[in-house]
Structure 1
């Protein structure tokens, strides 16, 4: 699949105390009548260096245009650990460095890394990922760890990545998907909130679907929120200047 078949969608992140949009998460969508994330096709891109290189060229062009048009907006862009292994990814962040104050790099899950044991330039896979995170941070970008506590972004991984992080994201929807009770989710939230405080990180709670949930989180000091209650992923025409 050519990357030109993709488009960028945006979902707002809200500071509920200030009642304002503090940024947007960028989400990839195809160009179907009802756009969705083409997971299987993107996996083929992420696992093929040449295709991934072409994808980065497209992404750089699209991001540059949007960042120039909305210079006061903060945008979060998702990268999997797998993508961090390609030298073209470092080149991408070097070339986008002039926008580092506007871009947050969200590190998503990549379970395939569990099955890889080979070395890259004398380093293990995890060492190579850590090296890439250090490079991105040194370029001036903020880094967030997405979906902590579910899937592969475990407590152990969060501890390993924490020197490079400025933010963690906790997804209520992901927990519900695994049939976690609301009481159990509350315990997890409390623990991750404490983790964020002790490590001087922001925490964004994703999957907010109603006012009651939003207010309860705010009452417990979790003010950065994201979810359908505030806005579904939408095209660029819905972007607001901060």
Structure 2
């Protein structure tokens, strides 16, 4: 695979530009075809990397209650998505959209 075809949000890109960034965004849209458990493993890996490198993380397209709740208490993880646009309470969220 050529370097130009790996995408700007790749691990390689992020790790080579750490001196220029303070926050990374992980879009959850790409995880539609995998289990919630596998999605959490991917998120946890990025969060561990971010923590080691002193970066914050934005989770984009949070659509599952389990994901929203799992990361809601972490002050270094910000969330964007269908649950957060109108500011509902976690207890009022449906399990899945």
**Equivalent residues in 2 for 1:1-242 (5 A)?**
114=4, 152=7, 153-176=9-32, 179-219=33-73, 221=74, 223-231=77-85
| 3-state secondary structure, aligned to 1:207 | strand
**Which is higher, the Rg of structure 1 or of structure 2?**
1
Structure 1: give runs of 5+ residues left out of the alignment: 1-112, 116-150, 233-242
Distance 1:211 1:114 in 2: 35
Tell me the CA shift for residue 210 of structure 1.
4.6
Tell me the CA shift for residue 167 of structure 1.
0.3
Greater than 3 Å deviation, 4+ residue runs? none
Partner of 2:90: none
C-alpha change, 1:225 and 1:154, in structure 2 (3 Å) is same
| 3-state secondary structure, aligned to 1:229 | coil
Structure 2: give runs of 5+ residues left out of the alignment: 87-97
Distance 2:65 2:39 in 1: 17
Distance 1:156 1:210 in 2: 28
Tell me the CA shift for residue 181 of structure 1.
2.4
Distance 2:48 2:64 in 1: 24
C-alpha change, 1:163 and 1:193, in structure 2 (3 Å) is same
| 3-state secondary structure, aligned to 2:26 | strand
**CA-atom RMSD in angstroms:** 2.3
User: TM-score, normalising length from structure 2?
Assistant: 0.69
Distance 2:47 2:34 in 1: 18
Indicate the structure whose relative CO is greater, using CA pairs within 8 Å and at least 6 residues apart.
Answer: 2
Distance 1:211 1:166 in 2: 27
| 3-state secondary structure, aligned to 1:205 | strand
Aligned length: 82
C-alpha change, 1:212 and 1:175, in structure 2 (3 Å) is closer
